[in-house]
């Protein structure tokens, strides 16, 4: 082999090595970039602020008490105009539960049309009968708790209404 062909072979090998190193650098950079993006997504997805915002969009709810005080907004206040709690006048004593039973009507007035009925639950009481839910006037929902047993000695019950926007 002459000097020119050795020189050409050496140049070709150097070019191939430079290309291989460049490809490895690009692949390494892409792997590092993917790891960085994955770490950022995991970090953001585990932040309380992000999770609260996501939950309030997917399942908005509000917690309030029987005095109509709003205790916590889980994103539902942007859909709710007003909440009224009407205590019934006819109280009876339940021998079975050893508690006073009274009817409660809760009216949730929304500022947007909801296709599905909201769900209500009490965080410190229970209904001996069914909770009747019906549409009220305009954009309101009426919850009739006919035989309401208060588990709270102070008489103030806490409710949660979940919306499906």
Residue-wise pLDDT tens digits, 90-138: 666 666 666 666 778 899 999 998 888 999 988 876 655 678 899 999 8
Q: What is the mean pLDDT of the chain?
A: 84
Quick check: 153 pLDDT over 60? no
Least confident piece of the model among 56-70, 78-92, 103-117: 78-92
Query: Quick one: pLDDT at residue 154?
Result: 58
CA atoms within 13 A on the CB side of 15: 6
For the entire predicted model, the pTM comes to: 0.66
């Amino acid at each position: 082999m002459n000097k020119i062909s050795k020189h050409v072979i050496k140049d070709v090998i150097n070019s191939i090595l430079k290309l291989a190193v460049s490809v490895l650098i690009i692949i390494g950079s892409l792997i590092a970039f993917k790891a960085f993006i994955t770490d950022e997504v995991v970090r953001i997805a585990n932040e309380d602020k992000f999770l609260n915002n996501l939950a309030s969009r997917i399942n908005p709810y509000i917690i309030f008490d029987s005095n109509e005080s709003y205790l916590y907004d889980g994103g539902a206040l942007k859909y709710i105009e007003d909440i009224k709690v009407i205590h019934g006048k006819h109280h009876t004593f339940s021998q079975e539960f050893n508690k006073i039973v009274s009817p409660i009507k809760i009216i949730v007035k929304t500022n947007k049309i909801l296709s599905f009925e909201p769900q209500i639950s009490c965080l410190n009481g229970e209904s001996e009968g069914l909770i009747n839910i019906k549409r009220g006037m305009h954009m309101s929902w009426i919850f009739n708790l006919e035989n309401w047993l208060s588990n709270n000695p102070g008489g103030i019950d806490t409710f949660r209404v979940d919306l499906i926007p």
